[in-house]
Amino acid sequence: MAVKAVTKHIRIAPRKIRIVADLVRGKNVGEAFAILKFTPKVGSRVVEKTLRSAVANAEHNNDMDVAKLFISEIFVDQDSTMKRIHPRSRGQAFKILKHSSHLTVVVDEKA
Range 3-109 has CATH code 3.90.470.10: yes
For residues 11 and 102, give the distance between their C-alpha atoms in angstroms, rounded to a whole number: 9
φ/ψ of residue 5, rounded to 5: -140, 140
Chain mean pLDDT for the chain: 95
Indicate if the pLDDT at residue 82 is higher than 90.
Answer: yes
Domain limits, the chain: 3-109
Q: Are 17 and 25 in contact (CB under 8 A)?
A: no
Q: Can you give the pLDDT at residue 111? A: 75
Percent of the chain residues topping a pLDDT of 70: 100
pTM, two decimals, is 0.90
Q: Can you give the pLDDT at residue 1? A: 85
Q: What is the pLDDT of residues 11-57, one digit of tens each?
A: 999 999 999 999 999 999 999 999 999 999 999 999 999 999 999 99
